[in-house]
Structure 1
Amino acid sequence: MTGAQGTREGRLRQTDRMLKQGLSLDEIAKRLDVQRRTVSGYAQELATHPLPDENDVFGLVIYQNPEYVSALLQQLFAIGLPVEEFAETFNAGMRQRTTEAGINGGAKFGLKLPFIPDASAHVDAEARTRGGSEDKNEQRQHQKFLFTQANYLHNVRAALDERGLVFKVAGANTLDQLRSGVFVEFSASFEPNEVNSILDLATPELVAAIVKHRHKTDALEAFDFDSSHEARQAFAMKVSIEADSKAELAAAATVAVRQDFRNETTREYFGTIRGIDKSSVTAVTICDTEYFLNQDKDRILDGTFRVLGKIAEISMEPVSILSRNKFLNRMRQSMLDDLTERLDALTQDGQFDASLKLGLVPPVLKVIPIAIYL
């Protein structure tokens, strides 16, 4: 065997597959070209320490932070980062041609025949002379193996699992042993930060137009149109100046909020980890947008994905989704409640779904992801 199949892990994996197929220990030993007692030892080891399902071992990665993976690989194995590996295969062959001539004389002696080991010929009084030639062929094959981030991540995951450093989060009842800095792995379905979605629509121009329209509408409802022409002109000029001023202020505030909240380098995704006991954990996964494969930042919203990362913070209290925003985080809870009520009122009109979740249900895990895969 060569490669991964020739390692002990590879033979264990092969044994596991064949046992699941119903093969006997003798059949497995024959296929692996090992003794039966060796296969019996493999079977006992698999019974006490089952291998992870291969569907979990090999995954499709949609997000990977190469700096984190490379650093962990070097720390785990205490070596430099492997880049390339070279292998050389050498084959040599030799062909012989031999000619013989002889005269019979009456004596007998043993003679070794070419290419026939341990064979003897007895001839009478024979004297021979030999001559011949040799042809030698050599063949060399050079191979170059390039290590990529896929290889690094596979080895990092295997090393962390082997050392028992990865905690599997499977519901609220599994959080007792967790703390900041622990490696975790979990499966979750994700939602985007809804404020980002609103800010995609709430451009400074749109906000300014809405504020201007709202101010003029309110002012016109309260104006007495029976007043003089001069009064109406003065009122129109005043309303226009006030509307422009409020619109400019609203547009500037919107720009400030967007710049503060819409950090283009990182993005939060809110995942729900559901346990067997039907408990749930909210996982806030803070991703660097540049590390999404194919630059598809919404791929994580397409299903249930597995996350390998480190815990940055654990909270058993409700967490506001505005906590990372310097401006909006200063809003008092009464203002947030009022905003939520107004949005709910808009939703009840049936024209537009303006509902907004501003709080995260505890327990809440903030996680810095190393990789996200399926």
Structure 2
Amino acid sequence: MKSKPIKESATEVSTQSDLFSLVIYQNTEYVSALLQQLFNIGLPIEQLRDTLNESIREQATEGNVAATFGAEVRLPVIPVGVKAGGTGDLKLGNKDDTRSEDKTSLQSRYTQANYLHNVRQKLQELSLVTKMTDRNSLDGLAAGSFVEFSASFEPNEINSLLDLAAPELVAAITKKLHREKALKNLDFDSGDFEDRQTYMAKVEQEAISWAEIAVATVAAIRHDFRNETTSEYFGRVIGSDSGRPLTAVTICDTEHFLGQDRDRILDGNFRVLGKVSEISYTRQSILSRNKVLNRIKQPALSMLQDSLKDADKSDQFDTSFKLYLQPPIIRVIPIAIFI
């Protein structure tokens, strides 16, 4: 009876394929530095391998010569000067050697894909990477720890709102809100027509002034965000079903995305290998990294949210956004993002 081959479990196959990945983000400087530190060698550039193929072909011929000799003879098989006499057969031989060599050179160059593969493999061999699945994984972690986790990501929604907030739209919304507020305070049953006209002219001038301030403020915020070469992505760590979620904030340099497509990370669930920069157990504002927005106090933030909701009564576009991240929060500087 033939024994059935043992099939590897899905978990084993998944574990084996973990090291072979498709990368969408890789900080080449971090990977190169880790490679040198982990292996204590310089960066491998290329290797040259020579292959030598040698073939030898031998061709030999033999013949019989009948001879009668009684005098001095000189043949290749008899030493010169030797006298011999008698009859017999002489064997003459001829040998032809042919030698050929074929040399092949193979030149291989190492790339960042090779560097990352070796770095991940070595980190796992040394048990330096903590696999995060939920908040229980934070035990024993500190700033500087290597972590790896899977998550589905969403961008900082303020960036999306700023893309939507064209100067003309900001000015129109601000004027509309100010006029509506002024009309609520206007008593149409008292006062004469000229007083109401004067009041509305004053309201219009105030609306224009507030609109100019709003446009200037949004321009300053947009300028602050656009000067940053990094982007924040908020993800909920995917792991166990313990009901203890963990928020991961991944801070990426745009230039290290494949093709500089910063939205690629939003197209599914991706794995992150990185180092912890901060662990927080308190609620945090998503505006903390922006110098302008970070100075806005809570009452003003609440008013901003209410104003955007009021401006969207027509349901023409969604202006809602989350201002806070729920704890625990782990901030990670990524080495690579892959699937």
TM-score scaled by structure 2?
0.81
Q: Which amino acid aligns with 1:62?
A: I
Alignment partners' CA distance in 1, 2:4 and 2:268: 30
Higher helix share: 1
Alignment partners' CA distance in 2, 1:99 and 1:68: 69
Alignment partners' CA distance in 2, 1:296 and 1:163: 33
Check whether the contact 1:343–1:356 (CA below 8 A) recurs between aligned residues.
no
Report the alpha carbon displacement of residue 360 of structure 1 after superposing the two structures with TM.
Answer: 0.9
Distance 1:201 1:52, change over 3 A: closer
**Structure 2 counterparts to residues 325-344 of structure 1, below 5 A:** 325-343=290-308
Distance 1:227 1:330, change over 3 A: same
Aligned length, in residue pairs: 310
Match of 2:193 among 223, 227, 230: 227
Q: Which has the larger radius of gyration?
A: 2
**Once the two structures are superposed, what CA deviation does each residue of 1:314-355 show, in whole Å capped at 9, x if it has no partner?**
001111111111222222233334444555666787554333
**Once the two structures are superposed, what CA deviation does each residue of 1:100-145 show, in whole Å capped at 9, x if it has no partner?**
123589xxxxxxxxxxxxxxxxxxx875232121111111111111
* Local SS of the residue matching 1:87: strand
1:318 paired residue number? 283
Check whether the contact 1:314–1:366 (CA below 8 A) recurs between aligned residues.
yes
2:323 paired residue number? 358
Check whether the contact 1:216–1:240 (CA below 8 A) recurs between aligned residues.
yes
Report the alpha carbon displacement of residue 203 of structure 1 after superposing the two structures with TM.
Answer: 2.0
**Structure 2 counterparts to residues 212-251 of structure 1, below 5 A:** 212-219=175-182, 222=186, 226-228=192-194, 238-251=202-215
Match of 1:75 among 37, 48, 59: 37
**Structure 2 counterparts to residues 172-183 of structure 1, below 5 A:** 172-183=135-146
1:65 paired residue number? 27
Report the alpha carbon displacement of residue 263 of structure 1 after superposing the two structures with TM.
Answer: 4.5
Point out where structure 1 has 5 or more consecutive residues left out of the alignment.
1-18, 24-45, 106-124
* Local SS of the residue matching 2:158: helix
Check whether the contact 2:177–2:311 (CA below 8 A) recurs between aligned residues.
no
Distance 1:317 1:261, change over 3 A: same
**Once the two structures are superposed, what CA deviation does each residue of 1:190-228 show, in whole Å capped at 9, x if it has no partner?**
111111111110122321222234334544663869434
The percentage of aligned residue pairs carrying the same residue is 53
Report the alpha carbon displacement of residue 55 of structure 1 after superposing the two structures with TM.
Answer: 2.2
Match of 1:299 among 264, 269, 284: 264
* Local SS of the residue matching 1:199: helix
Alignment partners' CA distance in 2, 1:239 and 1:341: 21
155-164 or 260-269: which moved more?
260-269
* Local SS of the residue matching 2:177: helix
2:165 paired residue number? 202
Q: Cα RMSD (Å) of the superposition?
A: 3.0
Structure with higher RCO (Cα < 8 A, 6+ apart): 2
Distance 1:156 1:51, change over 3 A: farther
Point out where structure 2 has 5 or more consecutive residues left out of the alignment.
68-87
Check whether the contact 1:266–1:289 (CA below 8 A) recurs between aligned residues.
yes
Report the alpha carbon displacement of residue 262 of structure 1 after superposing the two structures with TM.
Answer: 4.1
